[in-house]
């Protein structure tokens, strides 16, 4: 006798900050991400008609012929369900991090939903990690929002911790010597990642050698950061993050507001500060330690910025 199919299942996933390497990662360079402890949660149940609730907004799947005119979340959900060959279901997902701020909110939603659907179908997730089909489903969701997503956001949403990521090889845990502590401030509304990635591509078309020089410098920073993070050289890592910010300014993805928030953090004693994610608005991340964290958070808080913190415990590599 076969067991009756599951009626309800849930999934969760993490948000993230990129410590070094955004944008260059789209062109094949490595990047380093640190997952947040918060992210997204999803619950799915079998139903007669497929629908998606994101917070209090409901999206109902219509006929396939209408798919191209559906709102983005619905198109993304359709792509995710197709990848998993899912039955009709009702899904509810919610975020515990700001959306559209470079903290990987859409990827966290995609992974949480894919995990929940996978659970409903009785597909095993190994030690809390998604099977490959779940990662692919989350990336199919993410690509609807981002166009040419590198996959770093979905990898961080899935695995948590501190990660080394390349497009070619995916994610691997990064060795962290001592704990690594960051403060994050939400500075201003972000612009879509798709638009920022396209803006960098346009810059590269107009000025290939200048843009590639910047990308090469980012790549060199990330490559060196691997040893620096393993070797507890926090002051050096901070300097490298600030250098990465300057390179992102040269790529045209920073804003006066993001530059100002980095400056406030550095003046308050942060070891380094940079924008995180696609830029054009959103968040900045500052490397802090026990002696500097409170001053950095106060400097941002006094100016009305919403802040959060993340810590990577000491960890070995894969």
Catalytic residues: 153
Q: Pick the piece of the chain touching ligand PMV (CB under 6 A) from 38-46, 71-79, 149-157, 257-265.
A: 149-157
Q: What span, in angstroms and rounded, lies between the C-alpha atoms of 272 and 242?
A: 5
Cβ-Cβ contacts under 8 Å for 126 (sequence gap 6 or more)? none
Which of 186, 193, 211, 244 binds ligand PMV (CB under 6 A)? It is 193
For residue 21, the minimal CB distance to ligand PMV (Å) is: 8
Per rule CB under 6 A, count of chain residues that contact ligand PMV = 16
Shortest separation between residue 122's beta carbon and ligand PMV, angstroms? 31
Q: Name which of residues 40 to 59 contact ligand PMV (CB under 6 A).
A: none
| CA gap 173, 161 in Å, rounded | 7
* Residue bearing tokens 């590198």: 150
Taking CB atoms, the residue at the shortest distance from ligand PMV is 277
What is the nearest approach in angstroms of ligand PMV to the Cβ of residue 105?
Answer: 8
The stretch among 76-84, 144-152, 206-214, 308-316 that binds ligand PMV (CB under 6 A) is 144-152
From 47-55, 148-156, 289-297, 298-306, span contacting ligand PMV (CB under 6 A): 148-156
DSSP 249-291: HHTT---HHHHHHHHHHHHTT-SEEEEESS-SSEEEEEEE-TT
Nearest distance from C-beta of residue 314 to ligand PMV, angstroms: 25
Report d(CA 90, CA 49) in Å as an integer: 7
Q: Which is nearer to ligand PMV, 13 or 61 (CB)?
A: 13
Contact residue for ligand PMV among 146, 245, 274, 293 (CB under 6 A): 146
How far is Cα 246 from Cα 250, in angstroms, rounded to an integer? 6
Q: Which of 152, 163, 248, 296 binds ligand PMV (CB under 6 A)?
A: 152
Buried (b) or exposed (e) across 159-182, using 16+ Cβ within 10 A?
Answer: bbbbbbbbbeebbebbbbbeebbb
Between residues 157 and 299, which has the closer beta carbon with respect to ligand PMV? 157
Taking a C-beta distance cutoff of 8 angstroms, is the pair 278, 147 a contact? no
Query: What would you report as the CA-atom Rg of the chain, rounded to the nearest whole angstrom?
Result: 20
Catalog residues that contact ligand PMV under the rule CB under 6 A.
18, 22-23, 25-26, 102, 104, 146, 149-150, 152-153, 193, 197, 277-278
């Amino acid at each position: 006798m076969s067991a009756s199919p599951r009626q309800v299942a849930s999934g969760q996933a993490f948000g993230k900050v990129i410590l070094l390497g955004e944008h260059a990662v789209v062109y094949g360079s490595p990047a380093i991400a640190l997952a947040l402890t918060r992210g997204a949660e999803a619950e799915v149940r079998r139903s007669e008609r497929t629908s998606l609730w994101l917070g209090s907004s409901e999206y109902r799947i219509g006929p396939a012929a209408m798919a191209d005119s559906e709102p983005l979340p619905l198109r993304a959900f359709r792509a995710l369900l197709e990848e998993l060959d899912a039955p009709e279901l009702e899904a509810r997902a919610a975020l515990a991090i700001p959306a559209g701020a470079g903290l990987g909110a859409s990827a966290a939603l995609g992974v949480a939903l894919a995990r929940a659907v996978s659970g409903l179908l009785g597909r095993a997730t190994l030690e809390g990690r998604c099977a490959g089909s779940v990662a692919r489903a989350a990336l199919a969701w993410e690509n609807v929002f981002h166009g040419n997503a590198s996959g770093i956001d979905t990898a961080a949403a899935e695995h948590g911790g501190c990660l080394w990521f390349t497009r070619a090889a995916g994610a691997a845990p990064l060795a962290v010597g001592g704990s690594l502590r960051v403060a994050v401030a939400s500075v201003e509304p972000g612009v879509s990642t798709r638009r920022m990635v396209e803006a960098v591509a346009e810059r590269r078309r107009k000025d290939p050698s200048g843009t590639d020089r910047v990308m090469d410098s980012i790549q060199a920073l990330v490559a060196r950061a691997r040893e620096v993070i393993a070797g507890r050289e926090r002051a050096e890592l901070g300097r490298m993050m600030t250098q990465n910010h300057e390179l992102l300014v040269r790529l045209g993805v920073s804003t006066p507001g993001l530059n100002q928030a980095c400056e406030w953090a550095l003046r308050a004693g942060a070891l380094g500060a940079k924008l995180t994610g696609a830029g054009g608005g959103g968040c900045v991340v500052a490397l802090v330690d026990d002696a500097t964290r409170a001053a950095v958070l106060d400097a941002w808080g006094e100016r009305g910025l919403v802040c959060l913190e993340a810590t990577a415990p000491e960890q070995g590599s894969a």
